């Protein structure tokens, strides 16, 4: 911690936080910037010091399960700003928030819509809602409706809602949210499919929810939901696990011990500059490939066992008795150090699967971050003849991701 940070006032730290968020392209809506500047975040996270409260990239855990896992937290401010940009709240709109957190986001929403009583926030945990209600009251926004209940059921008493924002991660969109969203309304939720999570900004278009932005993110999972994500260890010490969706033809148990088999490595020739993201590869593959899933590798796993790209969530492809995943190596290019993306595979078809993954990296590289698909969420039971592309089936929804304007990826026919 710098001397400046340790001695600066909360107001100065808050102004610096917002400036840094703006510099990364978030809080680009003037009204979002203003409410971030006006709201004392430290009042909602009293157990964190001001420096942590106003760190734009730090989430603050406020409640935990008995086993230590995070139950509720104050999301990192940059992500709060990004999702508020996506939500596009207008004055006078009625808002439902799923996941009360600390009450900070509800406070921001109350200011954006102009009346605290137009905001309803729901959480399943009584300790969370009590803390949120107390913080909102102490900061002058006690008019927000803080409800203890199952977020998957929404809150019909105040419906319909012009805006719904979800600050816990659902695997699907529960029917209650659709029913309580006003026609033409907007829903922002950190959805999960094929092992990765994206904050999706969705607008109701005659019963179909259509995205106009997708941000990579991670959140505490929605409790009480019929979650369709499957997970299981693939090493005997259970330090490496594989995560997939239940509509995928992936037998996780059959892959256990696969990392003990000989390794095949291939390199794509595609390099990344410092801090350049590669997550678009994962998103791109979810539009066409049903084998896409996620590896979770604990930090103490040695690279000779599993050596994926850095991060908590790692892209993998599981095909019957073969597994391949993204890896990276440092390369010197013109005197500058870059990172080259590649693939490591195990199993009988490892040479083919690693080369396929490298091909997909090469296909992604020219467009990079501009290459973003549109997510359309249809109700479950929608006939295939009415869908616009390959389907990811959920319990209550059918997800379809398509690129409206781009060349097909390698291997797409």
Please choose, from the candidates 162, 29, 158, the residue with its C-alpha nearest in 3D space to the C-alpha of residue 92: 162
d(CA 113, CA 89): 6
DSSP calls for 138-163: HTT-TTSEEEES-GGG--GGG--EEE
399, 392 in Cβ contact below 8 A?
yes
List the end-to-end C-alpha distance of the chain, in Å, as a whole number: 54
Please choose, from the candidates 219, 96, 197, 191, the residue with its C-alpha nearest in 3D space to the C-alpha of residue 151: 96
Please choose, from the candidates 152, 191, 148, 155, the residue with its C-alpha nearest in 3D space to the C-alpha of residue 175: 152
Contacts within 8 Å (CB) and 24+ apart, 400-405: 400/375, 400/376, 401/283, 401/286, 401/287, 401/373, 401/374, 401/375, 401/376, 402/287, 402/373, 402/374, 402/376, 403/287, 403/371, 403/373, 403/374, 404/374
Please choose, from the candidates 177, 174, 172, the residue with its C-alpha nearest in 3D space to the C-alpha of residue 197: 172
Catalytic residue among 75, 169, 199, 397: 75
Cis omega (within 30 of 0) for bond into 321: no
348, 322 in Cβ contact below 8 A?
yes
168, 221 in Cβ contact below 8 A?
yes
11, 19 in Cβ contact below 8 A?
no
Cβ neighbours of residue 321 under 8 Å, at least 6 residues apart?
A: 254, 255, 258, 347, 348, 349
d(CA 360, CA 276): 17
265, 343 in Cβ contact below 8 A?
yes
Dihedral sign, CA of 402, 405, 411, 412? Answer: positive
75 is catalytic: yes
Q: Which residues are catalytic?
A: 75
């Amino acid at each position: 911690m710098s001397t400046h940070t340790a001695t600066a006032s909360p107001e100065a730290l808050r102004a610096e936080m917002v400036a840094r968020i703006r510099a990364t392209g978030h809080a680009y809506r003037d009204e979002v910037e203003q409410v971030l500047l006006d709201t004392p975040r430290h009042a909602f996270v009293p157990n964190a010091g001001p420096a942590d409260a106003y760190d734009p990239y730090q989430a603050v855990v406020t409640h935990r399960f008995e086993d230590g896992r995070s139950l509720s937290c104050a999301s990192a401010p940059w992500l709060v700003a990004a999702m508020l940009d996506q939500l596009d709240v207008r004055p006078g709109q009625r808002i439902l928030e799923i996941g009360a957190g600390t009450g900070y986001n509800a406070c921001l929403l109350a200011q954006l819509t102009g009346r605290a009583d137009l905001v309803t926030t729901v959480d399943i945990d009584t300790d969370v809602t009590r803390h949120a209600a107390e913080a909102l009251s102490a900061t002058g926004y006690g008019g927000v409706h803080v409800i203890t209940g199952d977020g998957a059921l929404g809150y019909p008493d105040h419906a319909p809602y012009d805006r719904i924002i979800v600050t816990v991660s659902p695997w699907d969109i529960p029917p209650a949210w659709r029913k309580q969203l006003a026609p033409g309304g907007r829903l922002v939720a950190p959805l999960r499919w094929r092992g990765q999570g994206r904050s999706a900004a969705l607008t109701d278009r005659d019963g179909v929810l259509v995205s106009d932005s997708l941000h990579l993110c991670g959140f505490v999972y929605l409790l009480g939901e019929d979650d369709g994500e499957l997970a299981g260890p693939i090493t005997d010490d259970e330090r490496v696990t594989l995560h997939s969706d239940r509509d995928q033809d992936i037998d996780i148990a059959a892959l256990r011990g696969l990392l003990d088999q000989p390794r095949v490595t291939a390199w794509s020739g595609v390099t990344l500059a410092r801090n350049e993201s590669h997550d678009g590869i994962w998103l791109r593959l979810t539009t066409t490939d049903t084998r896409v899933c996620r590896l979770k590798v604990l930090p103490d796993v040695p690279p000779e066992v599993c050596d994926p790209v850095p991060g908590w969530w790692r892209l993998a492809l599981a095909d019957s008795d073969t597994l391949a995943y993204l890896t990276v190596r440092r390369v010197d290019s013109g005197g500058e150090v870059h990172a080259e993306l590649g693939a490591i595979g195990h199993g009988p078809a490892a040479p083919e699967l690693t080369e396929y993954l490298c091909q997909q990296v090469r296909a992604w590289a020219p467009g990079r971050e501009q290459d973003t698909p549109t997510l359309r969420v249809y109700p479950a039971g929608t006939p295939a003849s009415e869908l616009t592309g390959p389907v990811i089936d959920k319990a209550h929804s059918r997800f379809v991701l398509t690129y409206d304007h781009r060349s097909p990826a390698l291997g797409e026919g």
